[in-house]
Amino acid sequence: MTDDEHATQTAASVAIISKSHHPSFFFSFSPFSCCACVACSIIIRDMGANRLGTLNKDAFKGMILLNELDLFDNQIEYLPDTVFDSLENLINLKIHKNKLKVLDEKIFIANINLETLDISNNELKEVPVGVFRTLRRLTVLHLSSNKFARLDESLLRGLNQLEDVDLSRNELTELPPLLLDGLTKLKSIKINDNQIKALPPALFRGLADVEILQLQNNEIAELPEKIFRDLTSLTQLVLTGNSLVTISPGIFSSLEQLHELHIGGNLLEHLPAGVFTGMERLEKLFILSNNLREIDSEAFTGIPQLLWLALNNNLLTSLPHDVFEPVPKLQRMQLDSNHFMFLPEGTLEPLKNLQYVNLIKNPWHCDCSILYLTRWINEHSDLIWDYQPKCRGPGELGGKSVYTMTFNDVCDGQWMSMMSIKNRVRARVR
């Protein structure tokens, strides 16, 4: 047989057994050997989306050159402990979106060349402590969307090549302090959508290569003082949807490479001066949907490259007139859905590069104090994002667009509004 004929036969074999959507094909699945119809030279096998319920322990026997195996989107509940033993050259293994409830401790013992392992979207409640111990070349490990309530501290020990770990969408309430210890090549860590209440202070110690850290949708109430100190390569930090009440100045000071900071959906009430200092490359800052009532005039110092600021859905009633001076490059800003009645004179003047601003859903009070905003909107009408902001009042001015107000309209309105305020000062008791 010529080389071309051999290649043609091998390709044909791959086409026959690598993909089938006939469910009975796999439910009656029997082992193949090198002398059967399946060539030993198969390197990729796709068995995804076949409603496969079981695998014979010898299903892959003899497939010594197989380096990619996809079992995605089946109904597998159990894997025999020796099912992958022949696959010493396996590099990529996908078992996500099945119904696995348990893993044997020796299931991957022979797969010493494995680089990518995806076991996400199963029904696993625990992982045997030594199940990954031979996977010294592993770079990607996805365990998301299972039912883990706890993880052993030594689970990832020795996986020194690991770059991407995903533990999201489980039922974790805490993390072992040394879970990530020694994993100095990590670039992406996802622990979002769990029930974690606190982060161990040394959890990210020594992880200088991490670029993405996702911690959103947990129950974290406080950030340890030096929790991010070693994350000097971080470009994206997501803390959305936690229970943070305060953020201490300096907590982000080592994040010199950070481009995106998401802290929306928390319980923050106050942004102190210098809280974001150190993030010289920050471009996107999302603080929406908190309980913000106060922002210090120097809150945004130290982030001169900021392009997008989201402050919408808070409880802000006013802003310092110079609060935006440290962020002159800002292009997009969301101030909608707050409690603003007016903006102080000059508030928006530093924002010469602004392209979009959203001001709707605020109780703009159209008296003399609104004239600055009226004038600014008329001069920058092309920057108004979504809809034109409208007056909440007083009187007949309610519902009219802020930009249509004139001196006569609003200053008369101010006098009328002042006259209509009821006297709430209690009479002195004599």
Burial class (CB in 10 A: 0-12, 13-18, 19+), 369: middle
Distance of alpha carbon 5 from alpha carbon 16, whole angstroms: 17
Cβ atoms of 27 and 50 within 8 Å: the answer is no
Residue 22: the pLDDT is 41
In a domain, 77, yes or no: yes
Helix (H) or strand (E) holding 44, with range, is: strand 44-46
Task: For helices 371-379 and 407-420, give the axis angle rounded to 10 degrees.
Answer: 150
Where are the extended beta strands (E) located within 306-409? Answer: 308-310, 332-334, 356-358, 364-365, 391-393
% pLDDT > 90, the chain: 79
Give the domain CATH number at 92: 3.80.10.10
Residue 48: the pLDDT is 76
In a domain, 61, yes or no: yes
Reported for 7-14, long-range contacts at CB under 8 A and 24+ positions apart, including other chains, are 9/39, 10/39, 10/41, 10/42, 13/37, 13/38, 13/39, 13/42, 14/39, 14/42, 14/44, 14/45
Residue 362: the pLDDT is 98
Please provide the DSSP assignment of 85-118 as one string.
TT-TT--EEE--SS------TTTTTT-TT--EEE
Q: Examine residue 394 and say whether the peptide bond preceding it is cis (omega within 30 degrees of 0).
A: yes
Measured in degrees and rounded to the nearest 5, phi and psi for residue 294 equal -145, 135
| CA neighbor of 358 nearest in space, from 288, 271, 292 | 288
In a domain, 324, yes or no: no
- Per-residue pLDDT reduced to its tens digit, 370-414: 999 999 999 999 999 989 999 999 999 999 999 999 998 888 644
Cβ atoms of 95 and 72 within 8 Å: the answer is yes
Residue 8: the pLDDT is 36
In a domain, 222, yes or no: no
In a domain, 174, yes or no: no
Residue 5: the pLDDT is 41
What is the number of structural domains in the chain?
1
Per-residue pLDDT of the chain (430 residues; tens, 9 = 90+): 444 444 333 333 343 344 444 433 333 344 444 444 444 667 888 887 778 888 899 988 888 999 999 999 999 999 999 999 999 999 999 999 999 999 999 999 999 999 999 999 999 999 999 999 999 999 999 999 999 999 999 999 999 999 999 999 999 999 999 999 999 999 999 999 999 999 999 999 999 999 999 999 999 999 999 999 999 999 999 999 999 999 999 999 999 999 999 999 999 999 999 999 999 999 999 999 999 999 999 999 999 999 999 999 999 999 999 999 999 999 999 999 999 999 999 999 999 999 999 999 999 999 999 999 999 999 999 999 989 999 999 999 999 999 999 998 888 644 444 444 333 333 333 3
In a domain, 196, yes or no: no
In a domain, 94, yes or no: yes
Tokens 């110092």, residue? 301
Residue 74: the pLDDT is 94
Residue 54: the pLDDT is 85
| CA neighbor of 128 nearest in space, from 150, 104, 109, 145 | 104
Copy the structure tokens of residue 143. 């365990």
- Per-residue pLDDT reduced to its tens digit, 153-185: 999 999 999 999 999 999 999 999 999 999 999
Range of the domain at 86: 1-113
In a domain, 340, yes or no: no
The single-letter code of the amino acid at 11 is: A
